[in-house]
């Protein structure tokens, strides 16, 4: 078996692989956590080994499942819910939805916590982002939604001849059995998905990409954002929220409107009007909104 550090940095292809690495991290954390500080709904964990202190990203205590056995039970229940989604069931209870958010939040944050401990910060950020994209991708596959990474090639003229701007899209999800969009055009019924661990410094790009894509493909294009959270550690003993909610509303009113913004761990403002009209928990996407968004 590979080391935990190697496993955390390896691509994940199935939902079971994600569950396995989560269990490894959850079993490891109690052995290395030296101190726990609680700030509002978040725990800030620190690990002191050989005189070196490492901080683990803030963990929402209402979402994060700390015990590996509890996680296994939750994961098994979520698999049943995902099968119901795949089979086009339309009614889901609040506990089912809450367990989706909690389970997938735990998977992603376990990976983030492990990378905080074992990998240098610059490399950790890259791997955290990559694992989150992979997690969302395999989740869509689990519920039977066709998806594909895509790079749209947008040509433009210069004095040196025609060049191509490559517009990378984290994911395209489709109502069809296979994604119809290509590198040269997008299908109007498919959805461009921006998958980011945080909206910090990235929210504006989602809006701009929607405007750019619609100008190029010459038709309305559905665009949604999926974010993990918008919270970060502040100094050594506090947290801060990074969603610039006012700017989000200005973008929505004066630039364009996205088809949805979904969080596994929504920031406080996301639960207040008017932001709650645009931002929802991730579970609402896959249990409710997706069937309307993916109408062909």
pLDDT confidence tier of residue 42, bands split at 50, 70 and 90: very high
Residues 49 and 112 in one domain: yes
Average pLDDT, the chain: 95
- Whole-model pTM: value is 0.96
Residues 151 and 14 in one domain: no
**pLDDT tens digits for 57-98?**
999 999 999 999 999 999 999 999 999 999 999 899 999 999
Give the pLDDT mean for 35-54: 92
**pLDDT tens digits for 151-164?**
999 999 999 899 99
Long-range CB pairs of 5-11, under 8 A, 24+ apart, other chains included: 5/114, 5/118, 5/119, 8/111, 8/114, 8/115, 8/118, 8/119, 8/127, 8/131, 9/115, 9/119, 9/123, 9/127, 11/130, 11/134
Residues 99 and 23 in one domain: yes
Using DSSP's 3-state secondary structure scheme, residue 134 falls into: helix
The gap from C-alpha 29 to its chain's centroid, in whole angstroms, comes to 23
- Is the Cβ–Cβ distance between 150 and 169 less than 8 Å? yes
Peptide bond into 242 cis (omega under 30): no
Q: Which of 110, 142, 174 is the last residue of a domain?
A: 142
pLDDT at position 296 over 80: no
Residues 59 and 132 in one domain: yes
- Is the Cβ–Cβ distance between 61 and 38 less than 8 Å? yes
Which residues is 231 bridged to in the sheet?
241
pLDDT at position 22 over 90: yes
For position 45, what pLDDT does the model report?
Answer: 95
Residues 151 and 289 in one domain: yes
pLDDT at position 268 over 70: yes
Residues 126 and 156 in one domain: no
Residues 137 and 151 in one domain: no
Count of the separate structural domains present in the chain: 2
Give the pLDDT mean for 181-186: 96
Q: Which of 142, 164, 195 is the last residue of a domain?
A: 142
Q: Which two tokens stand for residue 70?
A: 């509890």
Helix (H) or strand (E) holding 260: strand 260-265
**Which of 194, 204, 208, 193 has its CA nearest to residue 249?**
204
Q: Which two tokens stand for residue 71?
A: 């996680």
**pLDDT tens digits for 192-217?**
999 999 999 889 999 999 999 999 99
Domain that holds residue 273: 146-293
Give the pLDDT mean for 222-250: 93
Q: Which of 95, 112, 142 is the last residue of a domain?
A: 142
**Which of 47, 44, 78 has its CA nearest to residue 61?**
44
Residues 158 and 241 in one domain: yes
Residues 107 and 241 in one domain: no
HEC string of 100-119 equals HHHHHHHHHHHHHHHHHHHC
Residues 96 and 210 in one domain: no
Residues 102 and 156 in one domain: no
């Amino acid at each position: 078996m590979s080391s935990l550090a190697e496993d955390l940095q390896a691509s994940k292809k199935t939902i079971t692989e994600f569950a396995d690495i989560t269990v490894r991290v959850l079993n490891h954390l109690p052995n290395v956590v030296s101190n726990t500080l609680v700030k509002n709904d978040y725990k800030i964990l620190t690990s002191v080994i050989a005189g070196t202190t490492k901080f683990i990203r803030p963990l929402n205590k209402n979402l994060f499942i700390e015990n590996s056995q509890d996680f296994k039970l939750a994961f098994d229940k979520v698999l049943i819910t995902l099968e119901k989604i795949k089979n086009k069931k339309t009614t889901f209870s609040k506990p089912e939805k809450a367990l989706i958010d909690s389970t997938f939040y735990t998977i992603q944050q376990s990976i983030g916590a492990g990378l905080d401990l074992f990998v240098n910060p610059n490399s950790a950020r890259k791997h955290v982002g990559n694992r989150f994209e992979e997690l969302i991708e395999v989740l869509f596959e689990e519920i039977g939604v066709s998806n594909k990474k895509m790079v749209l090639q947008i040509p433009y003229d210069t004095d040196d001849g025609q060049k191509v701007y490559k517009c990378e899209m984290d994911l395209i999800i489709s109502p069809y059995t296979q994604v119809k969009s290509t590198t040269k055009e997008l299908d109007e019924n498919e959805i461009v998905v921006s998958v980011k661990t945080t909206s910090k410094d990235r929210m504006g790009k989602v809006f701009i990409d929607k405007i750019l894509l619609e100008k190029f493909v010459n038709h309305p294009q559905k665009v949604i954002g999926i974010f993990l959270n918008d919270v970060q550690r502040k100094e050594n003993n506090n947290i801060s929220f990074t969603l610039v909610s006012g700017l989000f509303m200005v973008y929505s009113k004066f630039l364009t409107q996205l088809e949805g913004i979904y969080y596994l761990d929504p920031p406080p403002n996301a639960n207040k009007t008017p932001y709650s009209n645009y931002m929802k928990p991730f579970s609402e996407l896959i249990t409710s909104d997706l069937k309307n968004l993916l109408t062909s």
